[in-house]
């Protein structure tokens, strides 16, 4: 199902941003810059941007009907085949636009992001996650524009029954496919849980951040791993996990996740929940921000919103301000330090202040981890086995009557082991 959404290479696009509520002209123009980057990432050629001030959202066209017709006329004059709204359009609004104009597609930000994810999905898991998100987005928005679904999904069970319209057939096809994809993801999720259990004794660190903040570059700098680095949004969708030795006695399991972005489609977050479990299960989350961006505060809040949506609660956070060697950062460094007083300032690309970052991670590890000496009688074989689960065994000594262990683990796990010894 590769052609249902949206963007053909170098398709001319017109962007629409709306000023309403707490949004002012400056904010909307910044948002449109990001939308333009998203559109270019998808392969579109942006030929114009339009902003419209609204006192309230129009339920029929999001903007007023007169303005909607005006934008379509402008698009026709520019030879545009694609209009992209920066806000999410309702199913009714999508339908109204499809009835208003036949030769121009009108889509929203969510559809655009889903299309980018579809283009960048490489592994079976990522493809399954993206397709599920796309179909759940499409289901309430079906129009005659998408009546090629039968051809894409095969003809089995696709014939319309008595009085059944093509769109009804398409909805049935979508529901069947959604059900199948959810089962596939459940299977993948179970496999991931098994893998996670095998890594339970590692100190898990998750790298999260706004897309294009430099996460993959930092991953490469710290781990030496050969990871994909591209100057485009959502270059990587799959979580990259690497074991990183910080020094002789500190080792972490570092995961680099998909980049976040403002107004990330809900269906996408939901379908990528299994991939993002690495974040939920991490002992430390590194929040990476682009220090050179004018939207660094908004990016930070977006990241916190997505983490909240994932159910991330009691975690240690470490904020990293990247790209400090960018020429426009010097003048606002004092401001950033006031806003993020606990942050570590680095350049992942040029390896500036990486030692400070490493030292801070080690400090947090030492606060979270504990080393203890334990002693077991040989007949306590069950307790001995349990004491070696989920920890690093530093030393194991046997004498005539006892087994001596030196173990290192999270404070929580050490407390669990010690409580079993008292029983």
The β-bridge partners of 80 are: none
- On whether residue 6 sits in a domain, the answer given is no
Cα 84 to Cα 45: distance, rounded to the nearest angstrom: 12
Q: What is the pLDDT of residue 92?
A: 93
Judgement on whether residues 269 and 339 belong to the same structural domain of the protein: yes
Query: Considering 87, 117, 147, which residue would you say is the last residue of a domain?
Result: 117
Q: What is the pLDDT of residue 44?
A: 92
Judgement on whether residues 47 and 60 belong to the same structural domain of the protein: yes
What lies within 8 Å, CB to CB, of 168 at 6+ separation is: 160
Judgement on whether residues 131 and 97 belong to the same structural domain of the protein: no
Q: What is the pLDDT of residue 127?
A: 87
Judgement on whether residues 299 and 395 belong to the same structural domain of the protein: no
Q: What is the pLDDT of residues 207-257, one digit of tens each?
A: 998 888 888 889 889 887 655 445 455 556 667 788 888 988 788 889 888
Dihedral over alpha carbons 328, 334, 338, 341 (to 10 degrees): 90
b/e code 255-264 from CB counts within 10 Å (16+ = b): bbbbbbbbbb
Cα dihedral across residues 332, 335, 337, 343: positive or negative: negative
- On whether residue 243 sits in a domain, the answer given is yes
Whether residue 301 is predicted with pLDDT greater than 80 in this model: the reply is: yes
Q: What is the mean pLDDT of residues 312-322?
A: 85
Q: What is the pLDDT of residue 149?
A: 45
Q: What is the pLDDT of residues 137-181, one digit of tens each?
A: 888 887 655 444 444 444 333 334 444 567 787 888 889 999 999
Judgement on whether residues 156 and 242 belong to the same structural domain of the protein: no
Q: What is the pLDDT of residue 117?
A: 84
Longest CA span, the chain: 91
Q: What is the pLDDT of residue 316?
A: 83
Q: What is the pLDDT of residues 273-283, one digit of tens each?
A: 766 777 888 88
b/e code 95-116 from CB counts within 10 Å (16+ = b): bbbbeebeebbbbbbbbbbbbb
Whether residue 54 is predicted with pLDDT greater than 80 in this model: the reply is: yes
Q: What is the pLDDT of residues 339-380, one digit of tens each?
A: 999 999 999 999 999 999 999 999 998 888 788 999 999 888
Query: Considering 62, 85, 117, which residue would you say is the last residue of a domain?
Result: 117
Judgement on whether residues 151 and 296 belong to the same structural domain of the protein: no
Query: Considering 169, 195, 221, which residue would you say is the last residue of a domain?
Result: 195
Judgement on whether residues 240 and 257 belong to the same structural domain of the protein: yes
- On whether residue 59 sits in a domain, the answer given is yes
Q: Which residue has the higher pLDDT, 292 or 141?
A: 292
- The CATH number given to whatever domain includes residue 321 is 3.40.50.300
Q: What is the pLDDT of residue 196?
A: 59
Q: What is the pLDDT of residue 227?
A: 52
Whether residue 296 is predicted with pLDDT greater than 90 in this model: the reply is: yes
Cβ atoms < 10 Å from Cβ of 90: 15
Note the pTM of the prediction, 2 decimals: 0.76
Q: What is the pLDDT of residues 174-219, one digit of tens each?
A: 899 999 999 998 888 787 776 655 555 678 899 998 888 888 889 8
Q: What is the pLDDT of residue 159?
A: 39
Judgement on whether residues 113 and 127 belong to the same structural domain of the protein: no
Quote the number of domains for the chain: 4
- On whether residue 361 sits in a domain, the answer given is no
Judgement on whether residues 204 and 321 belong to the same structural domain of the protein: yes
- On whether residue 7 sits in a domain, the answer given is no
Q: What is the mean pLDDT of residues 390-402?
A: 87
Q: What is the pLDDT of residue 250?
A: 85
Report yes or no: 387 and 339 within 8 Å, Cβ to Cβ. no
Judgement on whether residues 211 and 347 belong to the same structural domain of the protein: yes
- On whether residue 104 sits in a domain, the answer given is yes
Judgement on whether residues 22 and 137 belong to the same structural domain of the protein: no
Report yes or no: 15 and 36 within 8 Å, Cβ to Cβ. yes
Residue keyed to tokens 């981890």? 369
Cα 157 to Cα 173: distance, rounded to the nearest angstrom: 8
Q: What is the pLDDT of residues 76-131, one digit of tens each?
A: 999 999 999 999 999 999 999 988 998 899 999 999 988 888 888 888 888 888 89
Assign 314 a pLDDT band (cuts: 50, 70, 90): low
Instruction: Name the residue range of residue 133's domain.
Output: 121-195
- On whether residue 5 sits in a domain, the answer given is no
Cα 257 to Cα 237: distance, rounded to the nearest angstrom: 7
Cα 125 to Cα 197: distance, rounded to the nearest angstrom: 19
Report yes or no: 235 and 120 within 8 Å, Cβ to Cβ. yes
Judgement on whether residues 214 and 338 belong to the same structural domain of the protein: yes
Residue keyed to tokens 């941003």? 17
- On whether residue 360 sits in a domain, the answer given is no
Q: Which residue has the higher pLDDT, 416 or 291?
A: 291
């Amino acid at each position: 199902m590769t052609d249902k959404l949206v963007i053909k290479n170098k398709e001319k696009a017109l962007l629409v941003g709306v000023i309403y509520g707490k949004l002012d002209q400056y904010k909307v123009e910044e948002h449109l810059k990001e939308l333009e980057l998203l559109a270019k990432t998808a392969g579109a050629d942006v030929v114009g941007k339009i902003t419209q001030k609204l006192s309230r959202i129009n339920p029929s066209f999001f903007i007023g009907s007169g303005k909607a017709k005006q934008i379509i006329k402008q698009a026709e004059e520019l030879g545009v085949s694609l209009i992209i709204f920066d806000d999410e359009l309702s199913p009714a609004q999508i339908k109204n636009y499809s009835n208003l104009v036949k030769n121009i597609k009108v889509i929203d930000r969510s559809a655009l992001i889903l299309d980018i994810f579809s283009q960048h999905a490489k592994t079976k898991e990522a493809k399954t996650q993206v397709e599920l998100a796309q179909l759940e987005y499409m289901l309430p928005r079906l129009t005659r524009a998408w009546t090629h679904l039968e051809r894409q999904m095969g003809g089995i069970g696709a014939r319309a029954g008595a009085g059944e319209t093509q769109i009804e057939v398409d909805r049935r096809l979508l529901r069947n496919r959604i059900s199948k994809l959810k089962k596939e993801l459940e299977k993948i999720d179970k496999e991931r849980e098994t893998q996670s259990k095998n890594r339970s004794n590692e100190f898990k660190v998750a790298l999260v951040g706004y897309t294009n903040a430099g996460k993959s570059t930092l991953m490469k700098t710290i781990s030496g791993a050969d990871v994909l680095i591209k100057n485009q949004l959502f270059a990587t969708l799959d979580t990259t996990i690497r074991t990183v030795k910080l020094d002789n006695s500190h080792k972490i399991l570092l995961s680099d996740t998909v980049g976040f972005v403002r107004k990330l489609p809900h269906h996408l977050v939901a379908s990528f929940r299994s991939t993002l479990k690495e974040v939920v299960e991490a002992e430390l989350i590194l929040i990476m921000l682009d220090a050179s961006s004018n939207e660094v505060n908004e990016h930070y809040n977006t990241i916190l919103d997505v983490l909240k949506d994932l159910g991330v609660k009691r975690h240690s956070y470490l904020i990293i301000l990247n790209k400090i060697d960018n020429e426009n950062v010097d003048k606002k460094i004092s401001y950033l330090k006031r806003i993020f007083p606990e942050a570590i300032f680095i350049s992942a690309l040029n390896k500036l202040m990486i030692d400070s970052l490493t030292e801070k991670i080690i400090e947090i590890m030492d606060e979270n981890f504990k080393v203890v000496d334990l002693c077991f009688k040989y007949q306590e074989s069950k307790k001995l086995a349990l004491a070696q689960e989920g920890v690093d065994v530093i030393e194991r000594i046997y004498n005539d009557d006892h087994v001596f262990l030196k173990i290192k683990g999270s404070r929580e796990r050490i407390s669990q082991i010690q409580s079993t010894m008292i029983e």
